[in-house]
Amino acid sequence: MQTLNRTRFPGKQYPTKIIQFGEGNFLRAFIDWQIDLLNEQTDLNAGITIVRPINTDFPPSLNTQDGLYTTVIRGLDEHGDTVKQSRIIRSVNNEINIYHDYDEYLQLAHNLDIRFIFSNTTEAGISYNE
């Protein structure tokens, strides 16, 4: 299997207009998938910067694949027919690990193009320190 990267799988890159807190499966397979479809079918033209809110290197950062990953949809459609679709998600521009790249994270506040912020972090990714 080929490693995903933008050299092997070129395509349009979108300007960062979305900050997403959390790198988990739900956000990637639901929100990012929808953003990818909207980019393809409308003029949304929005790239995503993912902020990893926990201090771990697992799963590996999407930066190792230039933000690309595959979503697989399996199940039944509205007619009861079996569906199996694979899609390379191209809307993620980069991932920032807040513990390693804090200055880069702070720079997001200066991006005047940001239009949306999504978050689905659990208590493991949210903390308050006095």
Domain ranges of the chain: 16-122
Burial label, 46 (beta-carbon count in 10 A; 0-12, 13-18, 19+): buried
Q: Model pTM?
A: 0.87
Which are the contacts of 48, defined by CB distance < 8 A and separation ≥ 6? Answer: 16, 18, 19, 20, 32, 35, 67, 91, 92, 93
* Residue 81 structure tokens: 């027919």
Which tokens sit at 64? Answer: 């190792």
Q: What local confidence, expressed as pLDDT, does residue 93 receive?
A: 97
Give the pLDDT score at 18: 98
Are 45 and 39 within 8 A, CB to CB? yes
Q: State the pLDDT at residue 1.
A: 67
Q: Which amino acid is at 33?
A: W
Amino acid occupying residue 5 = N
> Could you tell me the CATH superfamily of domain 16-122?
NAD(P)-binding Rossmann-like Domain (3.40.50.720)
pLDDT at 121: 66
pLDDT at position 61 is 87
Could you list the pLDDT tens digit for every one of the 130 residues in the chain?
Answer: 678 989 899 889 999 999 999 998 999 999 999 999 999 999 999 999 999 988 888 778 899 999 999 999 999 999 999 999 999 999 999 999 999 999 999 999 999 999 999 998 666 666 667 7
Separation between Cα atoms, residue 23 and residue 81, nearest integer Å: 31
Which pLDDT score is estimated for 104?
Answer: 97
Check residue 129 and give its pLDDT. Answer: 75
d(CA 51, CA 73): 25
